Amino acid sequence: INTKYKILAAVDKLTEFREAFNNANRGPKLTQKQSNACQTFVKKSLPAFLTIFEQQLENHGKNSKFLFDTQKISVADFYFFYLS
């Protein structure tokens, strides 16, 4: 797959993650952790998200300095670290 499309797909996944996180953190502070959205985020969204990017790192190998491209930093790298 073309690097451009990998980066665009990564930005889409990061945006989905951000939206899931925001939805999980809505509502009164005392009930946020017990909300369905928060439970879904912690049990499903977060592990799935981390698995995707763990695989990305493994595919690039130990010598790669960047997450989404082996040659140069991309907007997806900035976005990922912005969300972290």
pLDDT averages per 10-residue partition of the chain, 84 residues: 78 88 74 73 88 80 73 82 78
pLDDT reported for residue 10: 84
69 φ/ψ angles, rounded to the nearest 5 degrees: -150, 140
**What is the spatial distance between Cα 62 and Cα 65, in angstroms, rounded to a whole number?**
8
**What is the spatial distance between Cα 64 and Cα 66, in angstroms, rounded to a whole number?**
6
Count of other CB atoms within 10 angstroms of residue 46: 15
Return the half-sphere exposure (C-beta side, CA atoms, 13 A cut-off) of residue 9: 13
**What is the spatial distance between Cα 37 and Cα 43, in angstroms, rounded to a whole number?**
10
> What's the predicted TM-score (pTM) here?
0.70
